[in-house]
Chain A
Amino acid sequence: MPIVWLFLIVIAISAVGYVLGRSRALHSAGGDSRNLHSLPTFYGANVALKALIPAFGLLIAWLLLQPLYVNSQVSGMIPDTAIKEGSSRSLVMAEVRRTADGLNNAVSQGLLTEIEAANPNADNAEVTRILKEAGQVVTSDITQPVLLAAQKHRVMNTTGYSIMSVVIILAALAGTGISWWQTHAEYRARNVVEQGVRALLLAAASIAVLTTIGIVLSLVFNTWEFFKLYPASDFFFGTTWAPSFSGRGGASDLGIIPLLWGTFYISLVALLVAVPIGLFAAIYLSEYASPRVRSIAKPLLEVLAGIPTIVYGLFALLTVGPLLLDVFGDGGLGWMKAGTAVMTAGLVMGIMLIPFVSSLSDDIINAVPQAMRDGSYGLGATQSETIRQVVLPAALPGIVGAILLAASRAIGETMIVVLGAGAAARLSLNPFEAMTTVTAKIVSQLTGDADFASPEALVAFALGMTLFILTLGLNIFALYIVRKYREQYE
């Protein structure tokens, strides 16, 4: 039974529960809703919630746990001898899952009957052919253990989902029944429902924590796998980045230093563009500009922040890169070999960060009390003297915070560097050379057909971990500084 149906059935049960609960409450109050503790709708909602929440909770838990259980059961069926040299259990398990999916597809397309699909003595080559016909990507011929495991996998999943459907419908019915039975005029339905809603609200708020846990776990788990295959010291201190493309094999050099250098260099160029422009724009807009100019220029600058990064990426690749190449390339100064370079990506990223720096700095400059400016003007200082010697020093911590936030943006930016910076990892000082960054390499290692068990793919998680820790540290530090700064003037 598809999950959508299960979903709808549970909702239908709870809707019926709502009507039943409401009418039972009214009945027990002799038809006069004034004799009830709560409004009649609360009695209905009470029954409906008690049907829905346990059923859906159970559904989610079941969907998460069943694959784990089935996997561990099936995994035990595969003898060590069936795992080829250089392969791993997880790869074989992936094959098993693909085969099981293929069997399902073949059955639903009518290429196989249920009996044929479950036949343990089926001809492997024949099954492989049918699965390919059913549109399933099966890499090689299916071996006997894999087929058996896949069949077992399929049967366990099918029975598991059938049991799940029954259990969940029963849970919904039980919730309805019990809460219906509890319903009477004195029952404090409103309080119970409000408790329930409050719990739901708390659950929604907790998703933020769950997301962070999810990020940390997925990074830590895969990074750990990576360090089992590749020494951590080589990763952190290696100065060459040269993954082998042949798949598995020890020929890869996966040193993070060139990537960090590229990231750092491009971010530096970006900040050199964005900070002076953004800061001066913010100063002009907050201290000099008339309200009219401000009301036009500020939103226009902020348009730059609303443009998706893919647009900037294309802009770097197809407009800025060729433009820079005309000036600095072989036709001009001869410093540049190709359109993709540190300068290209850095310049475009700088443009992207201008509104980020300017609007944050604008807020911070505006938070400097007017009394401070008056004090300076009262002594006969000019506006620029006041800004340079009183306003900016007072706003400095906040501005530093804003720049750090911009830096963390620059480090985490992906699309501009994927399209504009080039793909070669290199340790060089020439800003007109192509370099690459942590984010660009995460993308290139995880897209394509790499299998997730190889160090070449797993390294992306270690890179992600590094990126996460770097940006998180910068953010926490920057937010701390900005908060301290705000408190000073509150």
Chain B
Amino acid sequence: MNDMTRVERAVDSKDIKINAKQVQVYYGDTHAIKDVDVEIEDKTVTAFIGPSGCGKSTFLRCLNRMNDTIDICRVQGDILLDGEDIYDKRVDPVQLRAKVGMVFQKPNPFPKSIYDNVAYGPRIHGLAKNKAELDEIVEKSLRRGAIWDEVKDRLDAPGTGLSGGQQQRLCIARAVATEPEVLLMDEPCSALDPIATAQVEELIDELRSRYSVVIVTHSMQQAARVSQKTAFFHLGNLVEFGETGQIFTNPEDPRTESYITGRIG
């Protein structure tokens, strides 16, 4: 169709998926994100940690342009997905979001059946040619979401009738169904009980084999458990970014140390 815009790339495990350079975000007059540079690798779980209001969720929402739905929000700087600027005028945010899926803090299944919740993405993007293919995608996604066994007998039941943990895994399955390349998770476990949290964390670890996962979390233990890379945000600045083990055992910045030892936050 348009060969000039096709991007050839070598896919290896240490590939940089998203490259953010000098990102600034303003909410009206408030400067919410200042000079953030971060590189997010493919097939890796990257965790954003930091105290409340530090801008980690705001930054996450920049990565698939969810901030577009907020009128007063402005984004400056470059965010490159596979080398392409996602804030380019020619980019359709709709296509972007199909590639960069998102899971939200509170489970938000649509008031539809479980099947329709998962089939929604493939349907709007036209991923299935017929009902059989769609069935296949739904089953595959629910399996990847580690919820297939629990719901396979009641796919017609409303998604809102599931428990909180199940709802969140359903939302993950829903996000996975559109075949994204990056999966953004905004505190996916904050509304869940410890058992459901453990299930979701286990799932995140499995998803790593296929996707680049970015997770915002309040809990440092969770970041340590699931991520390979960790970014620490404080007051809108990216303070430190590196290997998770490094950050938690030997942080370079004193602010990071204060936060992980519980002195700020």
Contact = CB atoms under 8 A, between A and B. Distances in A.
A332 interface: no
13 contacts: A291-B71, A371-B104, A371-B108, A372-B108, A372-B111, A375-B171, A376-B120, A378-B66, A380-B98, A380-B101, A382-B124, A394-B110, A394-B111
Interface in B89-110: 94-99, 101-104, 106, 108-110
A221 interface: no
Contacts of A276: none
B121 interface: yes
A378 B97 contact: yes
Contacts of A379: 97-98, 101-102, 120-121, 124, 174-175, 178
Nearest to A391: B110
B5 interface: no
A296 B101 CA distance: 36
A380 B97 contact: yes
Interface residues of A, number: 20
Nearest to A368: B111
Report whether over half of chain A's contact residues are helix, strand or loop; otherwise say mixed: helix
B69 to A, nearest CB: 6
Interface of B: 64, 66, 69, 71, 94-99, 101-104, 106, 108-112, 120-121, 124-125, 171, 174-175, 178, 184
A374 B94 contact: no
A385 B71 CA distance: 20
Nearest to B160: A488
Given A372-B110, A389-B124, A394-B110, A377 B104 contact: no
B108 A382 contact: no
| Residue among B95, B103, B111, B184 with max Cβ neighbours from chain A (10 Å) | B111
B117 to A, nearest CB: 9
B110 A390 contact: yes
Contacts of B69: 373-374, 377
A272 B257 CA distance: 66
A426 to B, nearest CB: 45
A390 B121 CA distance: 12
Contacts of A376: 110, 120
| Residue among B112, B124, B171 with max Cβ neighbours from chain A (10 Å) | B124
Contacts of B98: 379-380
Given A290-B71, A380-B94, A381-B94, A375 B111 contact: no
B66 A377 contact: yes
Interface string A355-382: 0000000000000010111111111111
A374 to B, nearest CB: 6
